Amino acid sequence: MSHAQRLQRLAGSAFIAIAALLSGPLLAQTAGGGKGAGACPTLLNKTFPRLQDDAPQNLCQYAGKVLLVVNTASYCGFTPQYEGLEKLYADYAAQGLVVLGFPSNDFGEQEPGKSKDIADFCFNTYGVKFPMFSKTVVSGKEANPLFAELIKAGGSAPRWNFYKYLIGRDGKFIDSYASMTTPQSSRITGDIKKALAQQP
């Protein structure tokens, strides 16, 4: 091997070593939820079964979106809000809004059905297409991890069905809304528009 070839091989090896040293911390930061591209906010780093088939869904797939999280029920006076929630989703999905529905039997036992019953009701009655998850607990000591963190962040727990939490593109809590605050209220739509205008 000539002297020039040996120098070329050494230079190539040095380049590979330097590249590995530089990429290692970046990969570790991203995988660990740091500030690297593709990092998942802590609030969203949770998995829940999908309502229709119990397939596990990681909420990290919604990172960078504006999220309206709602605890729902099929036999409640506020159940017609499904229509308004679906309209919000249809109107603003292209801009980055996702509505996430979490059926719960916590209040008045107004969600007694099984997953298939709930899914059929939501679609057949209100044409719901936004993501829905399996029935869960949203209040008290047994609240699921997402609601537990939202309650802590906002200082307010759901008091009844169709309580709402808004999460920004950065994965941080923005505000919460009582059950009586309808999806089309100026307060909710105004906050959603402001959140959509922000970049993570």
- Distance (Å, rounded) from C-alpha 46 to C-alpha 152? 16
Q: Where are the alpha helices (DSSP H) in 32-72?
A: none
pLDDT at 116 over 80: yes
Q: Which pLDDT value is given to residue 172?
A: 97
Q: For residue range 118-172, list pLDDT tens digits in order.
A: 999 999 999 999 999 999 999 999 999 999 999 999 999 999 999 999 999 999 9
Collapse the DSSP code of 49 into the 3-class scheme (helix H, G, I; strand E, B; otherwise coil) and give the result: strand
63 and 9 in a single domain? The answer is no
Note the pLDDT of residue 188: 98
- pLDDT in the model for residue 168: 98
Torsion angle in degrees (nearest 10) through CA of 68, 73, 75, 76: -50
Among 40, 60, 76, 122, the one annotated catalytic: 76
This prediction's pTM: 0.82
Same domain, 32 and 67: no
Residues 71, 92: Cα–Cα separation, whole Å: 20
Shared-domain flag, residues 118 and 190: yes
Distance CA 88, CA 130 (A): 10
Say whether 61 sits in a helix, a strand or coil: helix
Per-residue pLDDT at 44? 98
The pLDDT assigned to 9 comes to 56
Task: Express each pLDDT in 20-35 by its tens digit.
Answer: 434 444 333 343 444 4
Flag whether pLDDT at 197 surpasses 80.
yes
Q: At 27, which amino acid appears?
A: L
Q: Which residues contact 26 (CB under 8 A, 6 or more apart)?
A: 36
84 plus 18 within the same structural domain: no
User: 93 and 9 in one domain?
Assistant: no
Residues 33 and 47 in one domain: no
Provide the domain limits for residue 29.
Answer: 1-39
Distance CA 195, CA 174 (A): 8
- Both 164 and 143 in one domain: the answer is yes
Residue 177's pLDDT band, with cuts at 50, 70 and 90, is very high
pLDDT tens track for 36-57: 446 999 999 999 999 999 999 9
Distance CA 93, CA 70 (A): 16
- From CA 42, how far away is CA 25, in angstroms rounded? 20
pLDDT for 1: 53
Residue 122 and residue 72 in one domain: yes
76 is a catalytic site residue: yes
The percentage of residues in the chain with a pLDDT greater than 70, rounded to a whole number, is 80
Listed residue (146, 130, 126) closest to 138, CA to CA:
146
* Same structural domain, 25 and 82: no
Q: Within this chain, do residues 6 and 77 fall inside the same structural domain, yes or no? A: no
Q: Does 77 lie in the same domain as 11?
A: no
Looking at the structure, do residues 62 and 149 belong to the same domain, yes or no? Answer: yes
Domain count, the chain: 2
